[in-house]
Amino acid sequence: MFIVYADVPIGVVPMTDGRQGFEEFVAARYTALLRTAYLLTQDRGLAEDLVQTALAKCWLGWKRIRYDDPEPYVHRVLVNTYTAWWRRRWNSEYPTDELPQGGGAVPDHAVDDRADLADALRRLPRRMRAVVVLRFYEDLSEAEAARILGCSAGTVKSQTSRALAKLRIDPALLDQTPRRQPPADRTSKEANR
């Protein structure tokens, strides 16, 4: 038995402009959503699953979403889905007495800065990581990030401040040697020439 709403049985998806609008949105924004999801999860496979799950949730309510700017809604669904996953997450890692075989030599000291930043982001608490990703990777304003996270702009500001403070003292990001040597100071002999 079908429940009828507006002459369309539930479970039957009509071919309408809403579907085309959804497909256009996904085609235009999938890469950006995947980047956001990766920065949240730090795992490519989980990021793809997160985006697919969030988009599936959005598809179900696509007719209710504002067509002129659905992105804040989709970002909110993405972040909320991520939050729900880690709240009830099954921990797939098990402690063992024996270490697995090594994968190779330890990389030298010239490690890519992006890898260091990804490691530092991974060490942040999840809420702080979400704020940093939305504010700096997605380049959202405090108000937009607050709307997506379901909190006040003041909370976003304080979480951003705390996250940046943690990143500033993170051992992976502390660089003991400057990247560029500062220009040498002129001695008094050079100045008098």
For residue 150, what is the domain's CATH number?
Answer: 1.10.10.10
Contacts of 165 (CB under 8 A, 6+ apart): none
Between CA 136 and CA 96 the distance in angstroms is 38
Query: Among residues of the chain, what percentage have pLDDT more than 70?
Result: 67
Instruction: Give the count of domains, the chain.
Output: 2
- Looking at residue 63, the DSSP 8-state letter turns out to be G
Checking if the pLDDT of 154 tops 90, the result is yes
What CATH number should be reported for the domain holding residue 67?
A: 1.10.1740.10
The pLDDT value recorded for residue 10 is 38
Between CA 116 and CA 122 the distance in angstroms is 10
The pLDDT value recorded for residue 103 is 52
Between CA 93 and CA 96 the distance in angstroms is 9
Between CA 131 and CA 137 the distance in angstroms is 10
What is the tens place of the pLDDT at every residue in 92-123? 555 667 766 655 554 444 446 778 888 889 99
Co-location of 69 and 127 in the same domain: no
Checking if the pLDDT of 44 tops 50, the result is yes
Which tokens belong to 30? Answer: 């999938």
Is 108 inside any structural domain?
Answer: no
Checking if the pLDDT of 38 tops 60, the result is yes
Co-location of 67 and 24 in the same domain: yes
Co-location of 61 and 8 in the same domain: yes
> What is the domain extent for residue 11?
4-87
Q: Among the residues of 69-141, which ranges form H helices?
A: 71-87, 113-123, 126-132
Co-location of 75 and 118 in the same domain: no
